[in-house]
Amino acid sequence: MNPLDFYVLGHMKSEVYGTEIPNREELWRRVEASAARVRNNPGVMEPAIRRSRGSIKDLRKDILATFFHCSSSDEHPRHHFCPTGSNSWCFYNQARAVCGPPNTHEKMRVYFKLNQDERSLLFSIYKDLSTDELLHKCMASRTQNPNESLHSKLWNCLPKIKFFCLRTCQYSVTNTVLQHNYGYSTASMISDLGLQEGSHHTTKFFEEKDKKRKREASRTPRKKIRVKEDQDPSYASGAY
């Protein structure tokens, strides 16, 4: 889970538009643009979840560290939550560890270009999204809703914008469930059913597909930030 992925940005946008503040449209554009810099830096945001398994307190600290790091300035450096030492991803604490002068904050790739009021609003949303209840679901570093993983595979086979007959739906659901639970390499399941596993080339082909699927799943997705408001996606989490 990335603290600034589409799911979290959706919650942030709801909070912004649900709050009585002036220039909400302009504020959200600025928040979204700043969030893009943070999300596109995999060395800052994503490891916050994966480093803190087993401790909600450490997980909250690492997530809030990303906010204070990105909202710091030369006049008000706030890196007290960032890891220390010469190997730290925080350039400020890294420079302090080697007794050298840190670079200016405005040169950071992940700098929040927001004023103090906008930062305060964004921080309140950060706190709402780092409650014990939400963080408890993230401790395993997996999706908060396991069904979404299966659903996304099913919608790839059966897009909701198209019509399919009952037999096609039944076959696609069965095939998706098998792939979700066994992967493409279904040789062990086929053997249990007393069926022939097929040729060596067939088994090797399915094993390669499994390896490719795992590589793609472990790769940090680079999603586009801006999505048209009136666009009706064929699949969106919780939209149907």
Q: Which two tokens stand for residue 223?
A: 């999603």
Residues 76-90: pLDDT tens digits? Answer: 888 888 888 888 878
Estimate to the nearest angstrom the gap between the alpha carbon of 119 and the chain centroid.
Answer: 22
Q: Which two tokens stand for residue 215?
A: 């590589």
Number of residues that this document lists for the chain: 240
Could you tell me which residues come within 8 angstroms of residue 56 by beta carbon, excluding any fewer than 6 positions away? 132, 135, 136, 139
Decide if pLDDT at 234 tops 50.
no
Query: What is the band of 192 on the pLDDT scale with cuts at 50, 70, 90?
Result: low
Q: Which two tokens stand for residue 81?
A: 């939550």
Residue scoring higher pLDDT (65 or 203): 65
Residue scoring higher pLDDT (38 or 115): 115
109 vs 38: CA distance, rounded Å = 8
Q: Would you state the pLDDT for residue 7? A: 43
Domain boundaries, the chain: 6-137, 146-218
Chain-wide mean pLDDT for the chain?
Answer: 67
Query: What is the band of 66 on the pLDDT scale with cuts at 50, 70, 90?
Result: confident
Query: What is the band of 18 on the pLDDT scale with cuts at 50, 70, 90?
Result: very low
Q: Would you state the pLDDT for residue 95? A: 87
Q: What is the pTM of this model?
A: 0.47
Residues 143-176: pLDDT tens digits? Answer: 556 666 778 888 888 888 889 899 999 988 888 8
